[in-house]
Structure 1
């Protein structure tokens, strides 16, 4: 007879996934807004404006996903919240590196909807994977 996971464990997966995705969206938007304000305030901005925007989107996605997942798990009182977020921090670092390796292609061909769907699915599935590995 197979043992079914309890409802509490499924709620933990849901909390990790929703918290990570929400945190990534919110903090990336805030960081991109602040980067935009910084770039617009520069009088002779050049390539450093693009670098600031890229670094802010990278940091916002990475830190936002980890912080959102940690807050959702910690406030929900789920076990192994810290271990899940440590694993998520490592997994997200490599996932964002893969996304940013496609940036030159995005400038030559344009970013299409499939790229953003992939980013969205990754921000949902990485917390699920980290939660599974933390068990």
Structure 2
């Protein structure tokens, strides 16, 4: 706010205020686009990864018991990671937002940090396995917003 008030004494200050409002509105849109792209991409590629992992386990591990859960779990985790990054990048790119690639790079690190960190944290709280997906979804939104903030600041 002080930035806008300081410009009121210069000629053409009304035009500058309108440009600042447009700039802020564009950034708000890019935050929303990053969050939606991250969630949507993660959801779609997670489902694809789980299905591919299930098909792999059925075909190459027909007598598997508990170890048959490893391929779908890995497929889902990789799908969340790649889907969040690609979804965020694609939606920002399609909507002509600046620095979509840098946002995706930051997001890839943040999502990987969450995917590795949350199972470790949830292992200390018994009976909290049901919270993994809601916490992961919340983390994807927060990570997308943080990544976009780091790039735009």
TM value normalised by structure 1: 0.86
Instruction: State the structure with more CA Rg.
Output: 2
* Residue 88 (structure 1) shift: 0.5
Supply the RMSD in Å over aligned alpha carbons.
Answer: 2.1
Q: Alpha-carbon deviations, 1:103-123, whole Å to 9, x = none?
A: 7568x63623x4332111111
Identify the range of structure 1 (40-49 vs 18-27) with the bigger mean alpha-carbon deviation.
Answer: 40-49
5+ residue gaps, structure 2, are: 5-20
Matched residues, number: 133
In structure 2, C-alpha distance between the alignment counterparts of 1:13 and 1:64, rounded to whole Å: 17
Partner residue in 2 for 1:99: 118
| Higher RCO (CA 8 Å, separation ≥ 6 residues) | 1
Partner SS for 1:6: helix
> In 1, are the aligned partners of 2:33 and 2:88 still within 8 Å (CA)?
yes
Query: Is 1:76 aligned to 2:92, yes or no?
Result: no
Hey, what does 2:51 align to over in structure 1? 33
Unpaired segments of 5 or more residues in structure 1? none
CA distance in 2 between partners of 1:104 and 1:48 (Å) = 19
Partner of 2:15: none
Q: Does 1:127 align with 2:148?
A: no
Question: Post-superposition, which runs of at least 4 consecutive aligned residues in structure 1 deviate over 4 A?
Answer: 2-5, 102-106
Q: Which one of 68, 81, 87 corresponds to residue 62 of structure 1?
A: 81
Cα contact 2:53–2:74 (8 A) shared by 1: no
